[in-house]
Amino acid sequence: MIALDVLVGVSYLLAALLLRRVRQLALLAAATGVLWFAADLVQPLVFAHRAPLTHLLLLYPGTRLRWRGQRWLIGAVYAACLIYPIGRLGVTTVVIFVLVVVAILGGRRASAAVSRRSVNLASAGAVLIWGLLAAAGLARSAGAELDAAFLAAYEIVLIAVVAVVVLDDRYRRSRTAIVTNLAVDLGAEPVRTLRDLVADALGDPSVVIGLVTTDGFIDEAGRPVTLRPQSGQVTTDLLDRRQRIAVLQHDPALLRDRRLLDSVTALAAIALANIRLHQEVTANISEVAASRRRLLAVSDAERDRLEHALEGEVTTRLARVSTLFAQLGTDELCRQLESTRETIRMFARGVYPRALNEIGLAAIRDLDPVGDVKITVPDERFAPQVEAAAYFLCLEALTNAAKYAQATIVTASARIADGMLVVEIADDGIGGADPTNGTGLLGLRDRLDALGGMLTVESSQDGTLVHGAIPLDLP
Give the span between the Cα atoms of 23 and 178, in whole angstroms.
18
User: For residues 470 and 423, what is the distance between their CA atoms, to the nearest angstrom?
Assistant: 8
Q: Give phi and psi for 143, each to the nearest 5.
A: 95, 5
Closest CA to 104 of 142, 130, 133, 141: 130
Q: Where are the beta strands (DSSP E) in 332-434?
A: 373-376, 410-417, 420-427
pLDDT at 53: 92
Alpha-carbon 124 to chain mean position = 35
Instruction: Show the DSSP H helices in 173-257 as ranges.
Output: 175-187, 194-202
- 62 half-sphere exposure, CB direction, 13 A CA radius: 18
Q: Over the range 135-158, which residues count as b (16 or more CB within 10 Å of their CB) and which as e?
A: ebbeeeeeeeeeeeeeeeebbebb
Q: How many CB atoms lie within 10 A of CB 315?
A: 16
Q: Residue 44: is the preceding peptide bond cis (ω within 30°)?
A: no
Taking residue 369's Cβ as centre, other Cβ atoms within 10 Å add up to 14
What distance in Å separates the CA atoms of residue 475 and residue 323, rounded to the nearest whole number? 50
Ramachandran class of 157: left when φ > 0, alpha when ψ lies in -120 to 50, beta otherwise: alpha
- Report the distance separating Cα 150 and Cα 154, nearest Å: 6
Dihedral sign (CA 51, 53, 57, 63): positive
Q: Give domain limits for the chain.
A: 2-173, 191-285, 364-471
- Position 358 scores a pLDDT of 80
d(CA 121, CA 144): 31
Collect all residues with Cβ–Cβ distance below 8 Å to 75 and sequence separation of at least 6. none
Residue 339 buriedness (CB in 10 A; 0-12 / 13-18 / 19+)? exposed
Tell me what pLDDT residue 339 has.
62
What pLDDT digit, counting tens, does each position of 380-421 carry? 899 888 888 888 888 888 888 888 888 888 899 999 998 899
To the question of pTM greater than 0.75 for the whole model, the response is: no
Q: Which residues contact 116 (CB under 8 A, 6 or more apart)?
A: 108
Residues 6+ apart with CB under 8 A from 433: 400, 404, 405, 441, 457, 459, 464, 466
DSSP letters of 67-105?
SHHHHHHHHHHHHHHHSHHHHT-HHHHHHHHHHHHHHHH
- HEC-encoded secondary structure of 408-467: CCEEEEEEEECCEEEEEEEECCCCCCCCCCCCHHHHHHHHHHHCCCEEEEEEECCEEEEE
DSSP state of 146: P
* Under-50 pLDDT residues of the chain: 112-114, 298, 302
Query: What DSSP letter does each residue of 277-297 carry, written as one string?
Result: HHHHHHHHHHHHHHHHHHHHH
The 3-state DSSP composition of the chain as helix, strand, coil percent (nearest 5) reads: 65, 15, 25
Fold observed for domain 364-471:
Heat Shock Protein 90 (3.30.565)
Residue 232 one-letter amino acid? G
